[in-house]
Structures are given as structure tokens and as C-alpha cells.
Amino acid sequence: MNNKNKQKNSKVDSRIPSGFLELLPEDQIAFNAMFEAIKKTYECFGFAPIETPAIEFTEVLLTKSGGETEKQIYRLDKSGDDLSLHFDLTVPLARYVVEHYEELTFPFRRYQMQKVWRGERKQRGRFREFYQCDIDVIGTDNILVDAEIPSVIYEVFKNLGFDNFTIRVNNRKVLNGFMEYLGISSMSREVLRAIDKLEKQGEEKVAEEIKVFGIPDDKIKKILDFVQIKGSDEEIISQLRSLGVDSVLFETGVDELSKVSEAIAMFGIPKRCYSIDLAIARGLDYYTGTVYETILNDYPEVGSICSGGRFDNLAEYYTDKKLPGVGISIGLTRLFYKLKEAGLIKSGRATLSEVLIIQMDEKFISESLAVATQLRKSGINAEIYFDSEKIGKQFKYASRLKIPFVIIIGETEVKENKVSLKTMSTGEQKMMFLEEVISLFKRIG
Amino acid sequence: MNNKNKQKNSKVDSRIPSGFLELLPEDQIAFNAMFEAIKKTYECFGFAPIETPAIEFTEVLLTKSGGETEKQIYRLDKSGDDLSLHFDLTVPLARYVVEHYEELTFPFRRYQMQKVWRGERKQRGRFREFYQCDIDVIGTDNILVDAEIPSVIYEVFKNLGFDNFTIRVNNRKVLNGFMEYLGISSMSREVLRAIDKLEKQGEEKVAEEIKVFGIPDDKIKKILDFVQIKGSDEEIISQLRSLGVDSVLFETGVDELSKVSEAIAMFGIPKRCYSIDLAIARGLDYYTGTVYETILNDYPEVGSICSGGRFDNLAEYYTDKKLPGVGISIGLTRLFYKLKEAGLIKSGRATLSEVLIIQMDEKFISESLAVATQLRKSGINAEIYFDSEKIGKQFKYASRLKIPFVIIIGETEVKENKVSLKTMSTGEQKMMFLEEVISLFKRIG
């Protein structure tokens, strides 16, 4: 909470609630650039945009959720309908696909990038309002799509400027099949939740957590050894096949994992950016096949920056139609915050103006306007400083906002039908024709 | 409410609450294109992006509002803080400027395009969730900025493809000065609210409404005659000056209106797109000078599609600092809905893919992937249809989504190291090298 603006006399405090992120323009511009890069990548792979209302019937949102979600949901206090803010984009997608089933074409490839809200308990780096950037392919069980998804993840993070990251892949059937083989299928859900914490909490703590469910020590050891099988993808697959696990589910899972792994190379993802990791379980119950997590290798503490998986049945609460699919989600707000914290977001310009037009005297306003119009017509973002009194103040404005160029219009410029262009980074100033300025901008892009 | 998906057995209904707009991908794409055009125009004029949380302290949101807003606000039902959804972007802007005052540079030119929520009563074409697209310039009382705003409005609607629209301009000081002169200043607010309805309800009804406040008939006639003074901008200004209205406020208003009107020509707005209209009052109390409305001349029933004005004091509830400024807002959701209703939005492609890649047999998957990767590297949105069984089904998919081109990869194509390109609109199909396809796309943009 920021106290500096606290007012005496009856002014209202200008702070925002905790758990909400609000950025200055320079950071907003950096945030929006990331948002755009993700969006463009999604579009490049043929995902179509949809948007769903932030507010839905509470009954629709809470169908597939446990108690935790119900506690976190923001309910609206209005007489009449029982409404709430959506807490993710997957539940609304399921509802959307059922509602518009007849008008959609399947496989339905959609992206959706919206804010969601969760009344989480206060914690540093946890947000109550955040952007999710989701893609899903609905209405196909083709395993090639499971292999395509990591190629989208790869392209997204490459386009965001990352190089050193790993997309970890696993398959829920492999895990559940192994539990079946150990005869602890009924505990599968709880065990997977515990395994998900292996990296953060270590072997001992996870063993303790599993023990609580009454699973004997020898089986706990088997589980922990199993999820920590290491090696190249081929080695892991062949180890899995040699374990002699007697479960059809397990065998199907290994086959799928193997196929995804083979296909992934074809999709052009470098080997270093991808690996099988049997400890990836993903908390959500509704995943039934391939699951993904993505880690920045230099910042493992950030946790998974892009997660998802395959599901057999997206919308069972709304329809009898079977809708299998696969999807992922990027929590952009948290990612941005963590990158900023790690010093990886450099605050740049506080505006998108490429040129500030400065007048030596207000009598040159019509010349300034003509110059601005020409620049804008050429696709150059141009801004005029209308208060022409103090030149120093005008330059200070440009430099505070980090506008890269200033055009100065004065007596001489108007007489010669030219403008003076100052490059703010070097201080260099040159009189030239406006056409020359425009070609210069086109050259430097 | 859509009944077609109502389920027997205990399925949850997939409908959304009334008053919320949800689009199919083809309409979402059209909507997003409008959103982008507005955003790009704002950026071109040097407005910087900010975003504020959707949720704020209720106390912050309700400071400057009357009872109507309080009734419409969506309050959150969570123990602890009293929070609500924002109902516009102006109140959050005021709060933002005060909160970040020291870190911002003034004049602060910001754009903000977010959803806002109002629990309005149900009415066709009224939405409870809608996008506002706002710009404001804060921290300047330079009248040139009042003239710049219409040039942004003009550019926005030109870029949205409109040609026949009128930006109507008035000045609150002119109206309030005239009320002062008539000796009915204390009723000024109510009279302005009534006048705002003149176009919709006609002279008689407005007269009745004003009469209720105890204003005598002769003054009502004077008011109605006054706000209906017609003519060119110059004629209106000279008529105003010849009325002999003894009010400093009035004179200041006429001077401002005259200056804005003169400057507007310099800003390159064609005369036909702009006019003074003394009947434009704008409901909101906080406007103190220039006010704007924008009308589509062919669709007057849509009402104002872009409104705003100048204010002396943006954030008086949060700070003692005086923050004068001027701004406008476009209600995009309603505009889109009305244009769609008028048949002006043509539903086009249901995806942004420019090419669908079809395989004659699944064994060509690696060739398909290589082609997709090459296309994407050249900035072409390319999608692969992974289920290669039925060619007919694949083409049907492309034609239902209106993907303009299909690339077919089969035995012959692979042998000759080419692809077949089918133009869906003409049915024309041609085998060519991938490089030729890419150059073709570059040519057609």
C-alpha cells in the first residue's frame, strides 16, 4: 500500500486493493508487447479468438470445481441472478462450446486472453486479478495435436525473447496406470497432488504426505523411484517398457508419450527445449493424457510459466456430447511480475510516440499540425506539444517519456520549408525536408 | 436466452446472463479489428496505454456519483474489503493519476480500452458488460487540445471505415452562462439534462420537463430557441455574440467555442464532419467547457457513438491538486452491436489462418510441418489439418471457416518438391514451389 498520497481533509484514498497489479505506462507498454507477441503466435498457428463474459452464472462456473475454487470465487452481491466472476477460461470455454455447438466447426481451435479473478489469500507474487492466455483444440483425439502444442509453446517463448527453457511432458495414463499396477488407484488423485510438489518440497516431504493416505512404505518408494526415472526420452520410454507394469492404461500411456516424443522432433523443437519428466502430474483432475509444464531454466523459482494437457471430456457438466481436446495456459500477469522482479523487463519508453513536435512559437501551430499529419499518414506515431512557451520544458517532456526523436519547427525551418530533427539518444540535430525524415524512419523501421 | 441446448438429466444450462454479449469467432474477429483500429489511431496521436484493475474499493468508485451509479454498480460479496467492479474508466483514471502523480509526466496523454460493468435494467441493445475506449489529456487547459480531440475522433471513424458522420461540439460555459443570464443558474443541471433529450423527444416534451422545475414559459421558450440556433459555425458564433447576453461565463464560452471551431479546420477535419450544436449538453456534471458528441448521419437512431468533454478538475475527490483536462469515450460493444444489427458488420472468416495445409495421407505429416513452419516464418498464419483420412472433410473445414487458401500435399507434390495451392474463392488449383506461394502471399498482402 502506497501511503504518499494520503490526504488530510476528507479526500478519498487513491490506493488499489492488495493483490492487484497496476502498471505505469512504461511497464504497461512492455506488458502489452508480451501480450501481443503471444497473441500473434497463437494466430500464426491458426487459433481463432473468442471472448466470454467476465460474469457468468455461479452454477455454471462451479460445476466441476472443488471447495477451494468455491472459496476463491468472487460472487456478485446483486439481487436476482446468482452471478460470479470467472476464475479461469477453461470452464467458460466448455460452456461456450456447448452453447454454440451447432455454429462452430470442429476441431475448434481457439485462443482466449482475458483477465480472470481469484480471491486468493494474500501472498507476494500471487494476484487476485490476472491475465490468462489460453489455447485449446477441441473435438479431436489426434495425438499429433498433443505434439503440436509444445511447438506453439516453443514459438511463444522464443518470440518473447527466451532461449533457455524446458517444456516438460508427461502422460496421466502412465501415472494412473502405474498406480493401478500398484493397486492404489483409489488414491491416485491424492498421490498425484503430492508428486506435483516433488521439485519444491523434496522426496522426504512428499513421502510423508503420501504416507498419510495409508500407502505402505515399499509402494511409496516405488512411486518415488518411478517418477524420478531419468535419461533421454528414448531411454525413459525403454525403461518404462521394461518395468513389466501389467496395466493396459499404462501401456496406452507409454505408447502416447512415445508418439508425442517422436513427433515433437518433427515439429522443429530443439531437443534442449523439451524433455519427458515423469514427475509432472498437474493438479487438475480433468487431464487424462498428455500433460505439460514449462520452466525457465535460469529461473526455476518462477515455477511453471505455461501448463496444460489433454482431456477426454471438456464439457461433461453441460452436455452428453464427448468433447476431447488439448490445451495450455500462460499466466501472463504473474510471468510479467516475476520477470520484472528478476530485472528482465527493462522499462523503456513511457509512450508509443516516435516523434515529439516542438514549436519555437505558437504561431507555427499550423505547420506543426501539417507535419504531424504527414508523419501519421506514413504510419509514424507523432505527438505535438501544444504549450509552446518554454523550449526547455518541451525537451524535458520528450526525454522523460523517452520519445526517441524531436522535430523542432521555428522561423528558419518554416522559411526553408524544412524541419529540424533531433535524435534524443545522441543529441544530434539536423535540418532536413520532411520527406527525408520520413525515409529515415522507414529505414530504421 | 437460447433454449436449444437445454439438457435433460442433470446437466447445467450453458446460457450466459442477459445483457452480456458473446460472439462467434467470425464476429469476434470483426470486433477485434475495430478494437485494433481504435487502438492504433490513439497510439498514432501519442496516447500511452494504461490499464486499471477491474475491481476497486467501492468508496473510490462511488465518490463522484449520484444514486443511479450506486444502484448500477456490481458489488462483490466477499468478507473483508468493500469492493466493486468499475463502471467507467474516468473514475479509475482520476484515482490512477493521483496515486502515480509523482511518476507521471504531464500533460499526461493516456488511452485505456477495457471492459466496464453496469447492472442496468434489461433493455435491447443495452449491455451490462461493455468495452469503453477512452482517451484523455490530463494537466493542461490549452484550448488547442480541445480542437485536437475531434481530429482523433475523425481519424478513428475514418479508420473504422465511416465517411458520413458529424462531430458535434458545444461548450458548457455557453449553456451555463445563458442560464445565468436568465437567472436560473440553480436549475442549470436539470435544464441541461432535459435539453440533452431534445433530439430524441422533441421540443414539446422537453418544455414540459423544464416546466416542472418552475421555470416560466417565456424563459423556456428562450432556452429552446437558444439551443436551436442554426447556421454555419461562423454564423452561430456571430449570432451568439449579438444576443447581448450579459455574462462573463457566457462570453468566455463563446470565445472558447470560437477558438476551437477555428482551430479545427487547421487540424484537417473536413467541414462536413464537424459542426457546432448548442443543444449538446452531455449529462455528466463534471464537464466544464467544450463538449462533444458524434453521430452517424445515416444511423441517427444509434445515438452518440463517441462523447466527451473538458473538465476543470479531474480528481477533486482524491487530491487538492487541480487537474484540468479533456477526453472522450467510445462505447465499442454497443457500437458493434448496433452496426451488426444495421447489417454493416459482415461476418467474414471464422479464423485468422490464411492457409490450411491438407495431407493426402498421414505419411506426409513431416512435409506438411516443414511447409507450415516456412509459411509462419514468412509471417503467414498457417494451420495444419491433422486428421488426414477424408479429403472432402478437410476442404469442408476450410470452406466453413472461410480460410482463403488450401495447400495440398500428396504423392506428386512430395516427389516434385512442390505444393498444390488452391484458391478457395475461385476453386483454381496450381502446383508450385513453396517459395512461389510465399511471394504470391507477399504480393497480395
The whole-angstrom distance between A93's CA and the closest CA on chain B is 10
Within 335-354 of A, beta carbons closer than 8 Å to B belong to 350-353
Whole-angstrom distance, CA of residue B137 vs CA of residue B148: 10
pLDDT of residue B184: 94
Cβ-nearest to A16 among B56, B268, B386: B56
- A129–B55 CB contact, under 8 Å: yes
| Residue A132 backbone dihedrals phi, psi, to 5 degrees | -110, 140
Q: Which residues from A are below 8 Å from B35, CB to CB?
A: none
Whole-angstrom distance, CA of residue B286 vs CA of residue B307: 13
pLDDT of residue B317: 87
User: Count of residues for chain A?
Assistant: 445
pLDDT greater at residue B348 or residue A371: A371
Q: Given CB atoms, is B45 within the 8 Å cutoff of chain A?
A: yes
Residue A78: pLDDT above 90?
A: no
The whole-angstrom distance between B353's CA and the closest CA on chain A is 5
Q: What is the pLDDT of residues A430-441, one digit of tens each?
A: 999 999 999 999
Interface test with B, best of A51, A316, A387 (most B CBs within 10 A): A51
Give the model's confidence band at A66: pLDDT under 50 very low, under 70 low, under 90 confident, else very high. Answer: low
pLDDT of residue B154: 97
Residue A384: pLDDT above 70?
A: yes
Cβ-nearest to A99 among B14, B81, B320: B14
Q: Which residues from A are below 8 Å from B7, CB to CB?
A: 318-320
Residue B69 CA, chain-centre distance (Å), reads 21
Residue A64: pLDDT above 70?
A: no
Low-confidence winner among A17-21, A281-285, B45-49 (lowest mean pLDDT): A281-285
pLDDT of residue B418: 97
Q: What is the separation, in whole angstroms, between the first and last Cα of chain B?
A: 41
Whole-angstrom distance, CA of residue A117 vs CA of residue B74: 15
- B11–A320 CB contact, under 8 Å: yes
Q: Which residue of A has its CA nearest to B387?
A: A142
Give the model's confidence band at A29: pLDDT under 50 very low, under 70 low, under 90 confident, else very high. Answer: very high
Q: Which residue of B has its CA nearest to A121?
A: B80
Give the model's confidence band at B5: pLDDT under 50 very low, under 70 low, under 90 confident, else very high. Answer: very low
Residue with cell 471457416: B401
Residue B8: pLDDT above 50?
A: no
- A318–B96 CB contact, under 8 Å: no
The whole-angstrom distance between A369's CA and the closest CA on chain B is 6
Q: Which residues from B are below 8 Å from A155, CB to CB?
A: 376
Q: Given CB atoms, is A128 within the 8 Å cutoff of chain B?
A: yes
CA nearest to A171, candidates A225, A236, A235: A236
SS3 content of chain B, % helix, strand, coil (to 5): 45, 20, 40
- Residue B384, classed as helix, strand or coil, is strand
Interface test with B, best of A1, A9, A12 (most B CBs within 10 A): A12
Within 205-224 of A, beta carbons closer than 8 Å to B belong to none
- A117–B54 CB contact, under 8 Å: yes
Q: Which residues from B are below 8 Å from A324, CB to CB?
A: none
The whole-angstrom distance between A194's CA and the closest CA on chain B is 30
Give the model's confidence band at B390: pLDDT under 50 very low, under 70 low, under 90 confident, else very high. Answer: confident
ipTM of the complex: 0.95
Q: What is the pLDDT of residues A87-145, one digit of tens each?
A: 999 999 999 999 999 999 999 999 999 999 998 777 877 899 999 999 999 999 999 99
Which cell goes with A191?
Answer: 498421490
Q: Which residue of A has its CA nearest to B317?
A: A11
Give the model's confidence band at B265: pLDDT under 50 very low, under 70 low, under 90 confident, else very high. Answer: confident
Residue B234: pLDDT above 80?
A: yes
Q: Give the Cβ contact number of residue A111 at 10 Å.
A: 24
Proportion of chain B above pLDDT 90, given as a percent:
81
Residue with cell 515529439: A356
Average pLDDT over chain B, rounded to whole?
93
> What average pLDDT does the segment B111-127 reach?
89
Q: Are strands A325-331 and A307-311 parallel, antiparallel or unpaired?
A: antiparallel
pLDDT of residue A215: 93
The whole-angstrom distance between A215's CA and the closest CA on chain B is 36
pLDDT of residue A9: 56
Q: What is the pLDDT of residues B9-59, one digit of tens each?
A: 578 999 999 999 999 999 999 999 999 999 999 999 999 999 999 999 999
pLDDT of residue A5: 43
- Residue B76, classed as helix, strand or coil, is strand
> What average pLDDT does the segment B87-102 reach?
96
Residue B132: pLDDT above 50?
A: yes
